Chain A
Amino acid sequence: MYRLSQTLTDAFSRRFSRTVREDYRQDEAYASTPQGRFWLAVAIIGVLVLPLLLPQYPLFVTTQIMIAALAGLGLHLLVGGAGQISLGQAAFVGIGAYVSSHLSGDLAPLGILAGGLVAALIGIVLGIPSLRIKGAYLAIATLAFQFLADYVFKRWTAFTGGVAGRSLPAEGTFLGLPLADDRVVYYLGLVFAIPMFFYAKRLLSTRAGRAWFAVRDNDLSAQLSGVDLVRSKLTAFALSAFYGGIAGGILMHLIGAVTPENFVLAFSIQYLAIVIVGGAGTVLGAVLGALFIVLIPEILSVMAGAFGPQYVAQLSAWRSVAFGVLILLFLILEPRGLVGLWGRIRDYFRTWPLPY
């Protein structure tokens, strides 16, 4: 009887619960259970068919979320992973955007890739101070880089077009498809975004991720566990910049132009906010953080519009205040970020009808 009940319980848990894994390979897979695989498939198919369902403006916002999530994910590898605070992510987005604006049309994917690679090279250079300085001092060094990049964007007219920026020809096409169409840009971005998300997830759970977390938690001990500090810090900076650069290339195609005001300090802080609100430690955090940071202002302005057109001007000032208060509340009430909130909801429903 005991044996029977045990067999039944085992079979039940294997089928319905997320906790039973039969070997280590399953434990380390992207989605280790049937439900996990199901929801992963639903998410990917959802992301693929989204442009066919959404009208133009919501699709524009969705693409913005994808871009913010990519840049935020890069910063997340650096801040949440290796523990190096950077206030210069917007500069890398800018570098990617400017470089890719020189290679458009049929070469668009190559241009985006080149933007990422150039950003990564500059990222390694920015990483060099991190070998000597830590914490707030490093943040100041990256802040200086942010201002320097802003200056170059505005003054190096031959490459960046100066304050006016550069704009793509409106009739540009990619393999015969118009690049002015947001759907084309969305799919172009997805070609980069999906593999890069899986890659980041893989990295964080394997050797590179362990080395980064070790550097973040205790660099003395990391050294004595055989971690190469120089290499891990520089790869974290390079990858973070690469993700930022790719995001910049997609952003450039989405807007169809590139101007310096898209890459100022406020955006660097916004990317940092994505990391913090999303919750450090996972790739999902970057996506949830980007959703929150990009969607909330949109939702607030829709709410402002609902009161009537005469209030829109007045309420837009209050919109920023509400946004700030929401972020503050978030940090106080749920320090682990949206990922922590999601985990709590999931844990509640895991044992849902019989919590004890």
Chain B
Amino acid sequence: MSETLLEVHDLHLSFRGVKALAGVSFSVAEGDLFAVIGPNGAGKTSLLNVLSGLYRPQQGRVVFMGEDLAGQSPQQRVRKGLGRTFQNLELFRGMTVLDNVKLGAELAVGGYTDLMPKAQIEWKIRHHAEEVLDYLHLSPYRHVPAGALPYGLQKRVEVARALAGRPRLLLLDEPMAGLSLEEKQDLARFLLDARREWGVTLVLVEHDLKAVLELSTGVLVMSYGEVLYQGAPAGVRENPRVAEAYLGRSA
């Protein structure tokens, strides 16, 4: 049995009476590809925002690698190995692809006092960034401003930036939304490879049910801030509460 990497206990989050999360608990083991699915407004993105420290939950605990994350800023969490990508692209549009990835690579290679440039470390960062670019087939675009690339590539750059930091756990918010079938397949392949080769544990929020059921090792189904189902992907289709939330009562 592999070690538990992330544990979430009884999270509650509400915005002025609107309950985004109502008692969500789950745990992710090292090496998992854990998927979070649910209808629109189920609280999936809110959950990720709580995990990465952008929202403060009213109640509940997040334990990452045996350490309670309460009160830690987003930067601190990222430096501990909790990477994140966004649903709407949050790239640095004016920076080149290479610089985007280098910024992520600093987390893995280690920084230095920023007013004293150190060439040795810079070359190490460059080397590391090039490795990731090569891995995600982005090398030809390294000097292109990220904002000038087509949508599918921008998504890939965002994944590259997050992967370059060598996170222990990567939170992916709908990485496949808006991609064509081939792009989806490519991205899925990259993610699976990253998981196998670099030991990155993935938490994936996704609408594409087919992709989720094929890829994941564990699934969490949410609706209106509550957990409907947690367990193996095979059991999702049989669960009556999930069918009700997705298809309505009459189904």
Contact = CB atoms under 8 A, between A and B. Distances in A.
Nearest to B83: A224
B115 A235 contact: yes
Nearest to A214: B92
B78 A211 contact: no
A224 B103 contact: no
A217 B94 contact: yes
B75 A223 contact: yes
Place the interface of chain B in its size category: 20 to 34
Contacts of B95: 210, 213-214, 217
B107 A226 contact: yes
B112 interface: yes
Interface string B46-82: 0000001010000000000000000001110011000
Given A208-B117, A216-B94, A235-B115, A224 B99 contact: no
Given A28-B126, A214-B103, A227-B75, A221 B92 contact: yes
A123 to B, nearest CB: 14
Nearest to B114: A208
Contacts of B103: 210-211, 214, 225, 227
B92 A213 contact: yes
Contact of A221 (B86, B106, B115, B122): B86
B188 interface: no
Interface string B112-148: 1011010000110111001000000000000000000
Contacts, number: 86
Contacts of B93: 217-218
A148 interface: no
Contacts of B115: 203, 208, 235, 239
Interface in A94-119: none
Given A217-B92, A217-B93, A224-B84, A207 B114 contact: yes
A225 B94 CA distance: 16
Contacts of B86: 221
A28 B103 CA distance: 16
A235 B78 contact: no
Contacts of A28: 122-123, 126
Interface string A111-146: 000000000000000000000000000000000000
A329 B99 CA distance: 32
Contact of B92 (A25, A207, A218): A218
B116 to A, nearest CB: 9
Nearest to B143: A27
B31 interface: no
Nearest to A215: B92
B43 interface: no
Interface residues of A, number: 28
A235 B122 CA distance: 20
A220 B114 contact: no
B38 interface: no
B140 to A, nearest CB: 13
B22 interface: no
A214 B86 CA distance: 15
A224 B126 contact: no
Nearest to B161: A225
A202 interface: yes
A188 interface: no
A33 to B, nearest CB: 15
A2 interface: no
A216 B52 CA distance: 21
Contacts of A24: 123, 126-127, 130
B122 A224 contact: no
A241 to B, nearest CB: 14
A220 B90 contact: yes
B218 interface: no
B111 interface: yes
5 contacts: A206-B114, A207-B112, A213-B94, A224-B75, A226-B106
Kindly list the 3 A-B residue pairs having the minimum CB-CB distance in the complex, ordered from nearest.
A221-B90, A208-B114, A217-B92
Interface of A: 24-25, 28, 202-203, 206-208, 210-211, 213-214, 216-218, 220-228, 231-232, 235, 239
Given A221-B90, A225-B103, A235-B114, 17 more contacts: A24-B123, A24-B130, A202-B117, A207-B111, A207-B117, A207-B122, A208-B117, A213-B92, A217-B92, A222-B92, A223-B74, A224-B52, A226-B78, A226-B106, A227-B75, A232-B114, A239-B115
